[in-house]
Amino acid sequence: MSSILISCRSLLAMTLLLGVLYPLSITVLGKLVFPIKSQGSLFYTKEHIVGSELIAQKFSSKGYFWSRPSAVDYASHSAGASQKSATSSELKKIYQERVRLYGAEVPNDMIWASGSGLDPHISLESAKFQASRVAEARNMTIKELDDLIEGLAEDRFLGFMGQPRVNVLKLNRIIDNKR
Amino acid sequence: MQTEAIFYNVFFVIVLLSLGYPLGLFIARIFEGDIPKRVSFLKPVENLIYRVSGINPQTKFSAPTYFLHLLTFNLMGLVLLILILMGQGFLPLNPQSVSGLDFPLAFNTAVSFITNTNWQAYSGEVSLSYFSQMVGLTTQNFLSASTGLAVIMVVVNGLNQKSEKIIGNFWVDMVRMNLYLLLPLACILALILIGQGVIQNFSPYIKSLTLEGIEQVIPMGPAASQIAIKQLGTNGGGFFGVNSAHPFENPTPFSNFLQMLSILLIPVAQVFAFGKLVKNERQGFSIAAAMSVIFIVLLTFSLWSEFTTIPSWAGDIPLEGKELRFGTNESVLWSVVTTAASNGSVNAMHSSLSPLSGLVALFNMMTGEVVFGGVGSGLYGMFLYVILTVFVAGLMVGRTPEYLGKRIEAYEIKLAMIGILIPSALILIGAGVASVSDWALSSLSHQGPHGLSEILYAFTSTSGNNGSAFAGFNVNTPVINIVLGLCMFISRFIVIYAVIMISGSLVAKKYTPVTAGTFPTDSYLFSILLIGVVFIVGALTFFPALTLGPIAEHFLTIYGITF
């Protein structure tokens, strides 16, 4: 019996410490030290929120760079992946459709859906691969776009962690502002 | 493979071992009650918790009583968590007005979090309120990890003390591990993660208008505080459904590195702590050496598979289910790390990895996650293999086996076998029954061998208290929730029971002095034998199932056959 009583009392004490005090203090500290990042790295215009630097958006018009494919059609409130293996005929079909859409020269990251469905980055190759389409739609030169891509490119952290990449939303916001 | 990848993996292992050793000494001091200066300012909090909970820190329990207290505490946690999850619709901090979970899902989720499994049949951002995530789940992330660590202390006491009946005080072990180890580390990690972009707030979900004018709903919440302990406590339950693949949960390559490091940090440290506590650090080194070798072998095999298995219909390594910022190497490394430990968080979808990389993840979990393993559970799981290894060594030379001066006899071996075989039986019998039952087959998302792998993975992950998934398999059905919930509960507490009872038997034994005939357990020879026993037990038990699942799928993938 004593073990039940101690269990209940210590459970409440530990819940107060670890489930209430700890997350609340981290929230307060986080907001003080990292006011933008703790709130989701959001982008604003004068009127509304445009999105988050970290969350991919759906782009389908020719004048924008497109994000990596998303198995959940960029449903940011319910992220997800295809979960398909290489022996899935569905995956093979989707793969072949994407290759048909982009052409055989398409970089690898543009034909496979990401893990979160919200991958905010594409590879530099994928950005440059799309540059001609965007340049044509926007009356810009490919050189101009390539320079923008190079300027925004994020390299591997410390030279060996992660992959070189470019943030699609940031890139599209810049070309929007160029107009 | 690129040079960066090789450099990355070597760097990871070196940083891990060099941080693990000093942390191990730190953990050993906490266990001995010699609280290190850096955290000793929390002493008044420790005493306060004892006072409000009615704990007498001086009491010591026998092994059965220790287990009883541990189990009661966990059961109370289970009940409280079920109540929170079912009642979240009436509780505060619920800006999205989500309603309570139904009983099977609440039961499954609650068992999952008290057993340190963190199997997720729900998706956090869709189904849970901030209250449930924070008060319910974050708390159990800590408590289940400290429960595991407490069991390590039982093992140590069982080996250290001579001719005693008492084994320790669960409450003291549990409170101290939370207060002096998990909480400080979680605070540091949570803040660094926020600095990388992990969110931490209580805002309602944000409505935005994309550049193309589409409405977008961006989920919010107190994520960083939960993610920090989910990794450090080898829990693995994501704040969001896609876990550490979600950019809000794991935004940069650096946050990815830190999270992987945190998964294995305490599991590595506890092995060194063990050596220190049994007063022969080489005992810890020999176990750590065995674990490191298995880890490196499995990692190399998994990487080889992922970088060379290209389906004949595709032009390059599939990036399906992987995030670009991590790439292939860091996705595969994570999959090995998270299943070596009983963590189960993912940064890439395991179901879409190459079949043999999936096999490595399965094998890690099938052997009980003893390659460093879970916080507490990795080392106490390996302790069962250690008992088995000294027994096998004893048979070879025809002598009663001893471990650290304690004779290993029939009773200990029986319990060790129960601890190793019951989870294996749950996996094989469970997956076997499921693969001919409609309630499981109707949840499959693949035909062919991958379908079998989905079922096998679900039973392995839950019975191994891992929590990662081949997530195409729809597990949120009432029957599956209850069945897998039972698998998690039984295997967690059977193994803990076996370990505590073995220790309770050892603690009563006299010390047998070391003689020329004693098989030394602090040698490389012992490490090699231990590796052999882990591989042989794992392979003998699971090879047929693995052949029908991932191995068959490997060949089908190479030839481009689809279903």
% pLDDT > 90, chain B: 96
Quick one: average pLDDT of B56-80?
97
Predicted confidence band of residue A1 (pLDDT cuts 50, 70, 90): low
Please report residues of B whose CB lies closer than 8 A to that of A33: 191, 194-195
Predicted confidence band of residue B317 (pLDDT cuts 50, 70, 90): very high
% pLDDT > 70, chain B: 100
- Same domain membership, residue B362 and residue B255: no
- Same domain membership, residue B263 and residue B357: no
Write down the pLDDT at residue B164: 87
Bridge partner list, A161 = A157
Q: Report pLDDT digits (tens) over B283-292.
A: 999 999 999 9
Q: Report pLDDT digits (tens) over B501-525.
A: 999 999 999 998 888 888 899 999 9
**Residue B322 in domain:** no
Residue B322's alpha-carbon distances to A24, A85, A108, B454, B469, in angstroms, are: 32, 12, 12, 18, 15
Distance from the Cα of A47 to chain B's closest Cα (Å) equals 10
Among B249, B272, B295, where does a domain finish? B272
Q: In Å, how far from its chain's centre is CA B507? A: 27
Residue among B206, B207, B324 minimizing CB distance to A119: B324
Q: Report pLDDT digits (tens) over A111-130.
A: 999 999 999 999 999 999 99
Write down the pLDDT at residue B46: 97
* Contact assignment for A55 to B216 by CB distance below 8 Å: yes
Token pair for B425: 């039986």
Q: B424 near B541, Cβ under 8 Å?
A: yes
Quick one: average pLDDT of B417-438?
96
Residue B402: its H or E element: strand B402-403
Residue A47's alpha-carbon distances to A36, A43, A44, B208, B431, in angstroms, are: 18, 11, 8, 10, 54
Ramachandran bin of B179, using left for φ above 0, alpha for ψ from -120 to 50, beta for the remaining angles: alpha
Please report residues of A whose CB lies closer than 8 A to that of B225: 22-23, 26-27
Chain A residue with CA closest to B246: the answer is A116
Ramachandran bin of B197, using left for φ above 0, alpha for ψ from -120 to 50, beta for the remaining angles: left
Residues in contact with B98: Cβ distance below 8 Å, sequence separation at least 6, in sequence order:
B88, B89, B126, B127, B128, B129
Write down the pLDDT at residue B8: 97
Q: B326 near B348, Cβ under 8 Å?
A: yes
Q: Report pLDDT digits (tens) over B529-547.
A: 999 999 999 999 999 999 9
Query: Which of 151-170 (A) contact B at CB < 8 A?
Result: 156-157, 159-163, 165, 169
Nearest CA among B379, B384, B344 for reference residue B364: B344
Among B228, B253, B272, where does a domain finish? B272
Predicted-complex ipTM score? 0.97
* Contact assignment for A87 to B315 by CB distance below 8 Å: no
Write down the pLDDT at residue A9: 97
**Residue B292 in domain:** no
Distance from the Cα of B543 to chain A's closest Cα (Å) equals 21
Distance from the Cα of A106 to chain B's closest Cα (Å) equals 10
Predicted confidence band of residue A14 (pLDDT cuts 50, 70, 90): very high
Residue B466: its H or E element: none
Quick one: average pLDDT of B191-211?
97
Taking the CA atoms of residue B55, residue B60, residue B63 and residue B65 in that order, the dihedral angle to the nearest 10 degrees is: -40
**Residue B336 in domain:** no
Domain span including residue B155: 18-272
Please report residues of B whose CB lies closer than 8 A to that of A49: 206-209
* Contact assignment for B562 to A88 by CB distance below 8 Å: yes
Write down the pLDDT at residue B544: 95
User: Is residue B365's pLDDT more than 60?
Assistant: yes
**Residue B301 in domain:** no
- Same domain membership, residue B180 and residue B74: yes
Query: Which of 218-247 (B) contact A at CB < 8 A?
Result: 218-220, 222, 224-226, 228, 240-242, 245-247
User: Residue B1 carries which DSSP code?
Assistant: -
Write down the pLDDT at residue B4: 86
A118 touches chain B (CB under 8 A): yes
Among B272, B292, B327, where does a domain finish? B272
Q: B147 near B177, Cβ under 8 Å?
A: no
**Residue B304 in domain:** no
Token pair for A52: 């988050």
Residue B70's alpha-carbon distances to B110, B154, B172, B450, in angstroms, are: 16, 12, 11, 39
Q: Report pLDDT digits (tens) over B269-281.
A: 999 999 999 999 9
* Contact assignment for B325 to A162 by CB distance below 8 Å: yes
Q: Strand A49-52 and strand A121-122: pairing?
A: unpaired
B194 touches chain A (CB under 8 A): yes
Residue with tokens 């990871």, as numbered in its chain: B12
Nearest CA among A170, A58, A171, A36 for reference residue A118: A58
- Same domain membership, residue B252 and residue B366: no
Write down the pLDDT at residue B307: 95
Structurally, chain B folds into a number of domains equal to 2
- Same domain membership, residue B36 and residue B132: yes
Q: Report pLDDT digits (tens) over A125-166.
A: 999 999 999 999 999 999 999 999 999 999 999 999 999 999
Q: Return the number of CB contacts < 8 Å for A and B.
A: 346
Work out the burial of residue B61: count CB atoms within 10 Å of its CB; fewer than 13 is exposed, 13-18 middle, 19 or more buried. Answer: buried
Q: A21 near B146, Cβ under 8 Å?
A: no
**Residue B3 in domain:** no
Q: In Å, how far from its chain's centre is CA A29? A: 25
Predicted confidence band of residue B1 (pLDDT cuts 50, 70, 90): low
Query: Which of 124-143 (A) contact B at CB < 8 A?
Result: none
Token pair for B317: 């390594």
Predicted confidence band of residue B163 (pLDDT cuts 50, 70, 90): confident
* CA B157/CA B160 separation, integer angstroms: 5
Quick one: average pLDDT of B130-139?
97
Please report residues of B whose CB lies closer than 8 A to that of A160: 4, 7-8, 11
